[in-house]
Homo-oligomer: A and B are copies of this chain.
Amino acid sequence: MSVVMDRSPEVRKASLRAQSNQSAPVYRGPERLHVADQEWTLGNCLAKINWLHAPILVLPPLATIYALYTVPLLLKTLVWSIIYYFITGLGITAGYHRLWAHRSYAATLPVRIFLALAGAGAMEGSIKWWSRDHRAHHRYTDSEKDPYAVKNGLLYAHLGWMILKQNPKRIGRSDITDLNADRLVMWQHKHYLKIATFMAAVFPTLVAGFGWGDWMGGYFYAGVARLVFVHHATFCVNSLAHWLGDQPFDDRHSPRNHFITALLTLGEGYHNFHHEFPTDYRNAIRFYQYDPTKWLILFLSYLGLTKRLQTFSENEVQKGMLQMEQKKINERSMKLKWGTPLDKLPVIEYEEFEERSSTEPLILVSGIVHDVTPILESHPGGRAMIRSGIGKDMTAAFNGGVYDHSNAAHNLLSTMRVAVVRGGMDVETWRKMPSQDHLTGIIGK
Contacts and interface: CB of A to CB of B under 8 A. Distances in A.
A410 interface: yes
Interface in A342-372: 366
Nearest to A426: B10
A385 interface: yes
A129 interface: no
A102 B443 CA distance: 23
A323 B173 contact: no
Contacts of A1: 330, 333-334
Interface in A362-402: 366, 378, 380-382, 384-385, 396, 399-401
Contact of A4 (B319, B338, B443): B338
A14 interface: yes
A323 B332 CA distance: 11
Given A333-B2, A385-B175, A443 B22 contact: yes
19 contacts: A3-B329, A11-B399, A11-B427, A14-B430, A15-B399, A17-B433, A18-B396, A18-B433, A24-B444, A102-B380, A139-B381, A139-B403, A173-B440, A250-B407, A252-B407, A278-B380, A316-B412, A320-B411, A322-B333
The 9 closest A-B pairs by CB, nearest first: A18-B400, A15-B400, A279-B380, A276-B408, A319-B411, A15-B399, A10-B427, A3-B333, A21-B443
A52 interface: no
Interface of A: 1-4, 7-8, 10-11, 13-19, 21-22, 24, 26, 102, 138-139, 172-173, 175, 177-178, 249-250, 252, 275-279, 310, 312, 315-316, 318-320, 322-323, 325-326, 329-330, 332-334, 336-338, 366, 378, 380-382, 384-385, 396, 399-401, 403-404, 406-408, 410-412, 414-415, 427, 430, 433, 440, 442-445
A384 B333 contact: no
A173 B178 CA distance: 79
A173 B442 contact: yes
Nearest to A27: B445
Given A399-B18, A407-B276, A2 B2 contact: yes
Contacts of A396: 14, 18
Give the interface centre of A14, A175, A330, A381 by most chain B CB atoms within 10 Å: A14
A14 B444 CA distance: 14
A329 B330 contact: no
B316 A332 contact: no
Contact of A336 (B249, B315, B443, B445): B315
B310 A322 contact: no
B378 A26 contact: no
A18 B443 contact: yes
A289 to B, nearest CB: 18
A336 B319 contact: yes
B329 A329 contact: yes
Contact of A408 (B312, B333, B401): B312
Contacts of A277: 408
A250 B410 CA distance: 12
Give the interface centre of A249, A329, A408, A410 by most chain B CB atoms within 10 Å: A408
A19 B405 CA distance: 12
B382 A276 contact: no
Nearest to A403: B139
